[in-house]
Amino acid sequence: MIFTSALSRTSRLLLRPTLAPSASYLFAAASTNRRSYTMASALQSPLFTQQVVQAMRSLYPEELADRAWDNVGLLQENIEPSSATKVPSTVLLTNDLTVVVAEEAIRKKASVIITYHPFIFRGLKSVTLADPQQRILLQLAQNNIAVYSPHTAVDAAPGGMNDWLADMLNGHGVTTKRTVAQPISGVVPLGFGGAGYGRVIEFGHPVNLGRIVEAYAAGLGGLRYVMVATPKHDGVSPVPVRTVGVCAGSGYDVLKDSGADLFVTGEMTHHNALRLTMLGKSVITVFHTNSERRFLKERLQPQLQAVLREQDSSAQVLVSEEDADPFEIWDVENMPAWAYDRK
């Protein structure tokens, strides 16, 4: 569209008598335009990148994402080399695309990064080294690495992120029923019926809150600490739970009308948690990316690698070792030595 608009403006200028150029100039300009257009159209994405994008779309269709605010899909493309150089058949999975993760991808010779959270969310007015996000763009472009983000498509898909969280409550000798907290309205891709955001698990009989805390601490990688908000009680009687609403990340808006006794999510604001406890409900938060990251290793890595190896036996899908939650819990009586001023 921009290219056509530019040609239209040029054509209007050429029609002005006072600016009419010579025939030789017109021929030269037209030749240059044709040559530039031909060079641009010859660029294409590497076959492996195309295979990765298609595999992700088959597993977690972009149509399931909440496009009202989310930014999913191929966010940065790479280019098929003009020489005989082969693009590495390596994908790096990460929850967040940070500078250290970008540098890890370069070291490990990945040609595609799949970042659960989109690393481009708003428009850019410049691309400089001063901004970490823009620095990542420059580093990845220099090293010919593409970036794809599935985000809420993974949340909504049957068998995706939120079903994975719900699966952690299987067992306990209790029959459970599972429903979608916010079903997707409208048409969904064939085979993805029942897609939507958040899940609500209904137990056959009440389960103690402590058992649920243990299940999520273990399922999310052996967490030692979780944050819990409960209604005021005598401190002795267990808090019985019949229904649990789960949503990865920041899940209050998804779960607020679910009617669940217990909300399990990555993070929640003070006032939302306070409101829920005053309504007699409980909340478990585990930090935003703690509710998401382990899914990459347990579910997405084997799924994606199996699909890719049907087309490329050398394909490998790695999980970032640098990706980490920005928050830590510090024991004020045993803080790390580097936290003190050593002047």
Q: Which residues are annotated as a binding site for a divalent metal cation?
A: 117, 155, 288, 292
CA 38 distance to own-chain centroid: 35
DSSP class of residue 333 equals T
Which tokens hold the place of 34? 């044709």
The closest of 269, 299, 287 to 328, measured between CA atoms, is 287
Q: From CA 118, how far away is CA 151, in angstroms rounded?
A: 7
Q: How far apart are CA 178 and CA 165, in angstroms?
A: 12
CB 200 within 8 A of CB 256: no
Backbone phi and psi for residue 200, each to the nearest 5 degrees, phi listed first: -120, 125
- Annotated binding site, which residues? 117, 155, 288, 292
3-state secondary structure of 105: helix
In the numeric block, which tokens belong to residue 103? 């540098």
Contact call for residues 243 and 264 (beta carbons, < 8 A): no
Q: Where are the alpha helices (DSSP H) in the chain?
A: 2-14, 23-42, 47-59, 99-107, 132-142, 152-156, 161-167, 209-219, 252-255, 270-278, 293-295, 301-309
Which two structure tokens, joined as six digits, stand for 195? 């897609």
Q: Is 340 helix (H, G, I), strand (E, B) or coil?
A: coil
Of 124, 121, 123, the C-alpha closest to 147 is 121
Q: Do the beta carbons of residue 197 and residue 254 sit within 8 Å? A: yes
